[in-house]
């Protein structure tokens, strides 16, 4: 990460020799391009607490690694002598640099020139950036700060067109290389698409908004008065829709999160994720885990604290933390190896699988499967959320989508039941078949685990409704029935039939996972390349 000032032109010295005029003109145009929209516009941009496009690129990339493409692109006004009178650079800055020594494509909108709108862009530049990433299988980071399209562009074109870009491989990129989209202002229309068509999308709280159409479009179409934040801010795009997967406080945090996210992933799907040095002992046992789950099943526990006690110190990177909060999805490391991690959060909706949590889970499993990250599922799954609201909003179809994502994933899984594993959501503990039809059931349990097709309490109430009502003491009879079925549901009885591989001491979880991940990476090495999925 480079925190120096924005990159300057390669040379500003006057040229001499036969090509003096041409070289001087080249240097002047480069200098104009590096000045962006000019001192006044840059100062106004800074006054809003925002970095310029070039400052963002320099902050993101390894120092001195940026090689710009298309610096001369823009609009030029020529005089009667056929010489340049005015040069306005394109408001897209693109090129290739390095992040942690790995070549990465970057495309940054320059808001200081016509508010980053398509009217001031040379669209071929950022299309070329996507195409370069596709052709050479490099990660790409899009820094989007665009007011969207402008009707004034029609005056420039002289005609309309069917929407779309024939040469833009946006969908193909998602199956081949890591893609990050950062919203650094109000991103409308195609700007919203460029942010959202990514494996990680980031916004700045209070400063970024993402929407298909801005407030003027909404006013014209629906007659509603709404501001940018209410339409496409943090609440709408991160908390409620999950369209943006991470919200941070500053641009610097967004760029740092981008670097960190990419560190877990390979450069493309034909490579394995990189392994990093790890000083956290693989055989570390945290005795606190032995008492992390309350004996009273009605009490909650700290799921994130459990994750911190198991995975490499400081390695957790949570995805969509404020969306679908009953499920936690993280990238993490085990003895330096990158893995995907899922667990339930009993502090939100009891950990039940809501529609939002299911959509989040499906998206996360696809990410891990695409980039060959083994998945660890630490389950306390009480089941799919039910009730009239849940059914009307489509919780069941979303749960089925998550189930199919899990079944279609080909990466190694290891699942550990921490407490509950019930019903349809419990069946999604790990793949039963997998793409090959022979998924290995790597399933373990803690002593606190319980499972079944239906919760004992609900099952007793349904199956023994009349018996309980007719009993001399209905409450005592119900509790006696529940105790009977809880005894049968002991994990020991399942382990006796090899229904789980083992019941482990919670403190020994990390050593188990660190040993398994070595084998998991041997397996993923044999299935590199793009993955194929059916409709779901």
Residues 357 and 431 in one domain: yes
Query: Is 239 within the bounds of a domain?
Result: yes
Residue that is last in its domain, among 247, 263, 279: 263
Query: Is 481 within the bounds of a domain?
Result: no
Rounded average pLDDT over 460-482: 89
Under the banding of pLDDT at 50, 70 and 90, the label for residue 218 is: very high
Residues 394 and 513 in one domain: yes
Q: How far is Cα 288 from Cα 218, in angstroms, rounded to an integer?
A: 53
Predicted pLDDT at 4: 47
Q: Contact, 61 vs 106, CB < 8 A?
A: yes
- H helix or E strand, kind and range, residue 136: helix 123-136
Residues 222 and 331 in one domain: no
Query: Is 71 within the bounds of a domain?
Result: yes
Residue, of 460 and 241, whose pLDDT is higher: 241
Predicted pLDDT at 507: 98
Q: How far is CA 163 from CA 90, 92, 166, 189, 368, in A?
A: 21, 20, 10, 11, 32
Residues 70 and 110 in one domain: yes
Tally the domains of the chain. Answer: 2
Query: Is 209 within the bounds of a domain?
Result: yes
Which domain, by its residues, includes 66?
A: 20-263
Rounded average pLDDT over 233-243: 95
**Digit-coded pLDDT (tens) for 46-65:** 889 899 999 999 999 999 99
pLDDT value at 364 more than 60: yes
Max intra-chain CA distance, the chain: 110
Q: How far is Cα 406 from Cα 386, in angstroms, rounded to an integer?
A: 21
User: Which alpha helices (H) appear in 198-331, and where do they start and end?
Assistant: 215-222, 228-232, 234, 251-263, 303-310
**Looking at 1-5, 213-217, 276-280, which range is the least confident one?**
1-5
Under the banding of pLDDT at 50, 70 and 90, the label for residue 70 is: very high
Residues 156 and 296 in one domain: no
Tokens representing 257 are 């999160």
Can you say how many angstroms the Cα of residue 192 is from the centroid of all Cα atoms in its chain?
A: 15
Q: Dihedral (C-alpha) 36, 39, 40, 43: value to the nearest 10 degrees? A: 90
pLDDT value at 43 more than 50: yes
Query: Is 40 within the bounds of a domain?
Result: yes
Residues 256 and 298 in one domain: no
Can you say how many angstroms the Cα of residue 528 is from the centroid of all Cα atoms in its chain?
A: 21
pLDDT value at 67 more than 70: yes
Q: How far is Cα 345 from Cα 463, in angstroms, rounded to an integer?
A: 29
> 420: which strand partners?
450
Query: Is 480 within the bounds of a domain?
Result: no
Residues 221 and 294 in one domain: no
Residues 96 and 207 in one domain: yes
pTM score, two decimals?
0.91
Q: Residue 359 is part of a domain; what is its CATH number?
A: 3.90.226.10
pLDDT value at 113 more than 70: yes
pLDDT value at 222 more than 90: yes
Under the banding of pLDDT at 50, 70 and 90, the label for residue 314 is: very high
Query: Is 278 within the bounds of a domain?
Result: no
Q: Contact, 525 vs 337, CB < 8 A?
A: no
> 495: which strand partners?
none
Residues 316 and 214 in one domain: no
**Digit-coded pLDDT (tens) for 496-522:** 999 999 999 999 999 999 999 999 999
Residue, of 173 and 40, whose pLDDT is higher: 173
**Looking at 43-47, 93-97, 392-396, which range is the least confident one?**
43-47
Query: Is 466 within the bounds of a domain?
Result: no
Rounded average pLDDT over 109-114: 84
Under the banding of pLDDT at 50, 70 and 90, the label for residue 116 is: low
Residues 171 and 254 in one domain: yes
Under the banding of pLDDT at 50, 70 and 90, the label for residue 5 is: very low
Predicted pLDDT at 63: 97
Predicted pLDDT at 536: 63
Tokens representing 215 are 């407030």
Q: Judge residue 155's burial from the number of C-beta atoms within 10 Å of its C-beta, 0-12 exposed, 13-18 middle, 19 or more buried.
A: exposed
**Digit-coded pLDDT (tens) for 147-158:** 666 666 666 667
Residue that is last in its domain, among 263, 279, 303: 263
Q: How far is Cα 376 from Cα 363, in angstroms, rounded to an integer?
A: 15
Residues 108 and 220 in one domain: yes
Tokens 């190896």 sit at which residue? 337
**Looking at 166-175, 218-227, 332-341, 402-411, which range is the least confident one?**
166-175
Q: What is the mean pLDDT of the chain?
A: 91
Residues 85 and 195 in one domain: yes
Predicted pLDDT at 256: 99
Tokens 């005894």 sit at which residue? 487
**Looking at 1-15, 442-456, 472-486, which range is the least confident one?**
1-15
Tokens 């695409």 sit at which residue? 370
pLDDT value at 399 more than 90: yes
> Residue 287, Cβ neighbours under 10 Å: how many?
10
Predicted pLDDT at 233: 96
pLDDT value at 319 more than 60: yes
Predicted pLDDT at 379: 98
**Digit-coded pLDDT (tens) for 7-29:** 555 555 666 678 888 898 888 88
Predicted pLDDT at 157: 65
């Amino acid at each position: 990460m480079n925190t120096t000032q924005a990159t300057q032109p390669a040379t500003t010295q006057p040229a001499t020799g036969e090509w003096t005029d041409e070289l001087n003109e080249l240097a002047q145009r480069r200098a104009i391009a590096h000045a962006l929209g000019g001192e006044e516009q840059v100062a106004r941009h800074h006054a809003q607490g925002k970095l310029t496009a070039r400052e963002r690129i320099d902050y993101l990339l390894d120092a001195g690694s940026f090689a710009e493409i298309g610096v001369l692109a823009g609009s030029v006004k020529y005089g009667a002598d056929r010489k340049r009178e005015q040069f306005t650079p394109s408001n897209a800055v693109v090129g290739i640099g390095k992040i942690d020594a790995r070549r990465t494509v970057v495309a940054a909108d320059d808001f200081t020139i016509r508010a980053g709108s398509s009217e001031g862009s040379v669209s071929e530049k950022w299309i070329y950036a996507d195409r370069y990433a596709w052709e050479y299988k490099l990660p790409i980071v899009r820094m989007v700060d665009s007011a969207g399209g402008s009707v004034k562009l029609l005056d420039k074109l002289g005609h309309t067109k069917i929407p779309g870009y024939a040469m833009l491989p946006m969908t193909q990129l998602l199956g081949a290389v890591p893609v990050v989209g950062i919203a650094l202002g109000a991103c409308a229309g195609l700007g919203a698409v460029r942010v959202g068509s990514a494996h990680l999308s980031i916004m700045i709280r209070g400063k970024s908004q993402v929407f298909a159409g801005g407030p003027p479009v909404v006013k014209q179409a629906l007659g509603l008065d709404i501001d940018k934040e209410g339409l496409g801010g943090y609440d709408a795009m991160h908390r409620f829709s999950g369209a943006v997967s991470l919200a941070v406080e500053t641009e610097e945090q967004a760029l740092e999160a981008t670097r960190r996210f990419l560190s877990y992933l390979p450069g493309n799907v034909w490579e394995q994720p990189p392994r990093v040095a790890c000083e956290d002992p693989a055989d570390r046992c945290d005795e606190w885990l032995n008492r992390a789950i309350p004996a009273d099943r009605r009490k909650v526990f700290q799921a994130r604290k459990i994750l911190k006690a198991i995975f490499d110190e400081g390695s957790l990177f949570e995805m969509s933390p404020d969306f679908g909060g009953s499920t936690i999805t993280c990238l993490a490391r085990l003895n330096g190896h990158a893995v995907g991690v899922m667990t339930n959060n009993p502090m939100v909706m009891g950990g039940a699988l809501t529609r939002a949590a299911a959509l989040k889970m499906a998206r996360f499993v696809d990410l891990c499967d695409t980039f060959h990250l083994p998945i660890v599922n630490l389950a306390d799954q009480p089941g799919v959320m039910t009730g009239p609201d849940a059914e009307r909003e489509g919780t069941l179809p979303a749960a089925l989508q998550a189930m199919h994502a899990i079944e279609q994933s080909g990466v190694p899984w290891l699942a550990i039941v921490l407490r509950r594993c019930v019903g349809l959501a419990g069946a999604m503990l790990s793949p039963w078949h997998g793409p090959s039809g022979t998924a290995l059931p790597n399933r373990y349990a803690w002593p606190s685990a319980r499972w079944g097709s239906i919760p004992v309490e609900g099952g007793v109430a349904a199956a023994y409704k009349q018996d309980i009502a007719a009993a001399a003491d209905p409450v005592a009879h119900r509790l006696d029935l529940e105790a009977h079925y809880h005894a049968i549901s002991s994990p020991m009885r399942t382990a006796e039939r090899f229904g789980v591989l083992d019941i482990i001491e919670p403190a020994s979880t990390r050593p188990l996972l660190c040993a398994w991940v070595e084998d998991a990476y041997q397996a993923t090495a044999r299935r590199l390349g793009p993955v194929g999925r059916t409709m779901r």
